[in-house]
Amino acid sequence: MLILQTVNELKEWVRDTKKAGDSIGLVPTMGFLHEGHLSLVKKAKAENDKVVMSIFVNPAQFGPNEDFDRYPRDLKRDQELAEGAGTDVIFAPSVEEMYPRESQIQLTAGAQADVLCGAKRPGHFDGVLKVVTKLFHLVEADLAYFGQKDAQQLAIIESLVEDYNFPMAIRRGETVREADGLAKSSRNVYLSGAERNEAPHLKKALEMGKELVLKGQDPIEPMTKYLTNHTSGVIDYIELLDYPTLTTTIRQNAILALAVKFEKARLIDNIIFHPKGN
Ligand code: PAF
């Protein structure tokens, strides 16, 4: 496995790889890898000749009071895990390498960013669009892989690729969970022991909410009560929307999504399902 840290090294590798006729799958990450990331690498390995994983904690997507500085980082551990899952190249640039000057052009997410995390984290998805646009151009990937745990991010990136004709396709990866239902996340390490024991109730609340939706009932209030009774966290949002449009009129699939703030970790989770139960 190669570890590349500069744009020039990456471009050279991409040029050689394309010349050899090999397809490239990209798995963008912020590191501190867990099985969710590794399942994306395995999917990418099965569908492409070469797999590039980017590891870059992107300052552009963190708000001023968010956890950029204390976001967990462990490149050595990440290298071992990435290689074990079949990654061919890790691209791990510095902030200066990725953003050598202040951008003169800004990318802004549309209405899909007005709900859920986008409503709570102003500018977050603009920062995600900024970094993935650069990564897509640098890596010239045929396919790029994103997990469904970050369902809003996935929907917005699919819009970017569709609206601006990026010559590539996005692949969705299922949310990977712990045995007790907690969605895997790099931020789970922030949970205290007591919070970790409460955290599986997020998935339980979603399952309960889904059953109510299938019965034609409004899930928000019962889910709010359930989470308030079973966790010490503060509910940031619980929303039921159409997926992937993220509008309030459910036409295709429904997404039931929530965010709960614990002492040091803000956890998100969701389930996507057909509102008629098919
Ligand atoms: O999902 C993440 O880890 C990040 O938002 C991403 C897509 C790697 C962009 O920095």
Residue 173 predicted with pLDDT over 70: yes
**Integer Cα distance of 48 and 140 in angstroms:** 13
- Domain positions in the chain are 2-173, 186-271
**pLDDT tens digits, one per residue of 104-134:** 999 999 999 999 999 999 999 999 999 999 9
**What's the rounded mean pLDDT across residues 220-240?**
98
Q: Which helix (H) or strand (E) holds 245?
A: none
With a 6 Å cutoff on the Cβ, whether 128 touches ligand 1 is yes
Residue set of the binding site for (R)-pantoate: 61, 153
Residue nearest atom 5 of ligand 1, based on CA coordinates:
128
With a 6 Å cutoff on the Cβ, whether 58 touches ligand 1 is yes
| C-alpha dist (Å) from residue 267 to 157, 169, 258 | 21, 28, 8
With a 6 Å cutoff on the Cβ, whether 40 touches ligand 1 is no
**What's the rounded mean pLDDT across residues 167-195?**
98
The partner residues of 269 in beta bridges, in order of sequence, read 258
Residue 269 Cα to ligand 1 midpoint, Å, equals 15
pLDDT of 174 reads 97
Q: Which SS3 state, helix, strand or coil, does residue 82 take?
A: helix
**Integer Cα distance of 201 and 199 in angstroms:** 5
pLDDT of 229 reads 98
> Any idea of the CA torsion for 4, 170, 148, 39, to the nearest 10 degrees?
-50
pLDDT of 278 reads 60
Residue 273 predicted with pLDDT over 90: yes
Q: Tell me if the domain spanning 186-271 has CATH number 3.30.1300.10.
A: yes
Residue 58 Cα to ligand 1 midpoint, Å, equals 8
Q: Are strands 24-29 and 143-147 parallel, antiparallel or unpaired?
A: parallel
> The domain 2-173 is classified under which CATH number: 3.40.50.620, 3.40.630.30, 3.40.50.170, 3.40.605.10?
3.40.50.620
**Integer Cα distance of 217 and 138 in angstroms:** 47
Mean per-residue pLDDT of the chain: 97
Q: Which percentage of the chain shows pLDDT scores above 90? A: 98
Statement: the pTM of the whole predicted model exceeds 0.95: yes
With a 6 Å cutoff on the Cβ, whether 160 touches ligand 1 is no
Q: Which helix (H) or strand (E) holds 3?
A: strand 2-4
pLDDT of 234 reads 98
Distance, CA of 256 to chain centre: 16
Q: Are strands 50-55 and 2-4 parallel, antiparallel or unpaired?
A: unpaired
Q: With cut-offs at 50, 70 and 90, classify the pLDDT of residue 252.
A: confident
Please give the angle made by the CA atoms of 240, 204 and 234, to the nearest 5 degrees.
70
pLDDT of 197 reads 98
Q: Which percentage of the chain shows pLDDT scores above 70? A: 99
pLDDT of 37 reads 98
Active site residues: 37
**pLDDT tens digits, one per residue of 88-112:** 999 999 999 999 999 999 999 999 9
Q: At how many degrees (to 10) do helices 201-214 and 220-230 cross? A: 160
Tell me which DSSP letter residue 264 carries.
S
pLDDT of 276 reads 84
**Six-digit token pair at 38?**
């590794």
Q: Given the CA of residue 61, which atom of ligand 1 is nearest to it?
A: 10
Please give the angle made by the CA atoms of 93, 135 and 112, to the nearest 5 degrees.
125
**pLDDT tens digits, one per residue of 36-80:** 999 999 999 999 999 999 999 999 999 999 999 999 999 999 999
Residue 156 Cα to ligand 1 midpoint, Å, equals 12
